[in-house]
Structure 1
C-alpha cells in the first residue's frame, strides 16, 4: 500500500511538472511583401511557450545572420511567453532564410521564410 501511495504521488508530481511545458508557436514573415532585390525586414515571432528559456536564431543559407535584434521577453496573463527577433535583409531568388527555435519542450526546429513571389 505504501508503494502505491508513493507511486501515485510521484506520478502526480511528474505529470504536473510535464504539463508546464508548452511548445512555441512560430511565425516567420517579412515586414513588406517579398520582392527579390528589395530591402526588407525578416521577422520571427515566437509565442505561447513555457518555460521562458528559449533560443531564437535567424539563418541565411545555413549561416546565422549577424546583427539580428531580439525583443524583450514578455508574458501573457496565463504565463505563456512571447518574443520577436528581426533583421534587415535583401532576398535573392537563390537565398534560403529560416528561423531556428530551441525550447525545452522539443528538439530544435527550423521554420522557413516563404517568399510568396
Structure 2
C-alpha cells in the first residue's frame, strides 16, 4: 500500500511541474494573396509558447490597427499555447504591416511579406 501511495505522489509531483519557458513560433500571413488596394485579412498566428503571458498587436507602419479580433487562448499537449489575431485591411504600396509579439520580457516584430 505504501508503495502505491509513493508512486501516486511521484506521478502527482511530475505532472505539477510547470513546463519550461518556450518562445513563440510566429506566422504572419493573409487569407488571400496580397494585392495592393484590395480588401484582405492580416493574420498573426502564434504557437508553441509557454507561459501563456503574451500580447499580440497587428501594426500598420508601427501603429496598432483597430478592430482586430483575437481567438481564445488554447493549449496543446505539454501545455504549449497558441493564439491567433486577425484584422481586415487593404494593403497599400510602400506601407509596412507587421505583428508585434510580447512574450514575458521579450518583444519582437514580424513583418508581413506581401510577395507582390
Q: Show the counterpart of 1:55.
A: 55
Q: Show the counterpart of 1:25.
A: 25
Q: CA RMSD in A?
A: 1.4
Q: Show the counterpart of 1:68.
A: 68
Measured against aligned partners, the alpha-carbon deviations of 1:24-65 in whole angstroms (never above 9, x if no partner) come to: 000000010000010000000000000001000010011110
Q: TM-score, structure 1 length as denominator? A: 0.82
Q: Show the counterpart of 2:103.
A: 103
In structure 2, runs of 5+ residues without a counterpart are 1-16
Question: 19-28 or 32-41, which moves further after superposition?
Answer: 19-28
In 2, the alpha carbon distance for the partners of 1:63 and 1:51 equals 26
SS of alignment partner, residue 111 of structure 1: strand
Q: TM-score, structure 2 length as denominator? A: 0.82
SS of alignment partner, residue 95 of structure 2: coil
In structure 1, runs of 5+ residues without a counterpart are 1-15
Q: Show the counterpart of 2:86.
A: 86
Measured after TM superposition, the shift of residue 72 of structure 1 is: 0.2
Query: How many residues are matched?
Result: 100
Q: Show the counterpart of 1:9.
A: none
SS of alignment partner, residue 86 of structure 1: strand
In 2, the alpha carbon distance for the partners of 1:75 and 1:69 equals 18
Runs (4+) of structure 1 exceeding 2 A deviation are: none
